[in-house]
Amino acid sequence: MERIDFKFNKVTPDEAREMQYKLSLDLAVYRVFINGYSKTGYVVFDEAKLSKDKLLEMLKPFEPEVISERELTPEELIESSLSWKNRIAA
């Protein structure tokens, strides 16, 4: 799994909601968040099922700028989804 953080140069809140919903329907996407007000967001996806180039092509109308990229394990994804009170003990 890969997580890419973005800064968008051109996106409205309505466009952000619509694209977030569209990406959430893709089975290769595990997490997606696009904020149309701060013009930031991230996508966690399986690069074996959805290429980075195809993802960037889908986001092209919003002029995305990649801020960071990193590999995630399933454990990291699950833990990042937990409430701060329910963190897995080390």
Mind listing the pLDDT tens digit for each residue in 35-76? 999 999 999 999 999 999 999 999 999 999 999 999 999 888
Fold classification of 2-86 is Alpha-Beta Plaits (3.30.70)
DSSP letters of 1-23? -EEEEEEESS--HHHHHHHHHHH
User: Considering the chain, what percentage of its residues have pLDDT values greater than 90?
Assistant: 80
Domains of the chain by residue range: 2-86
User: Considering the chain, what percentage of its residues have pLDDT values greater than 70?
Assistant: 91
For residue 90, the model assigns a pLDDT of: 52
The residue length of the chain stands at 90
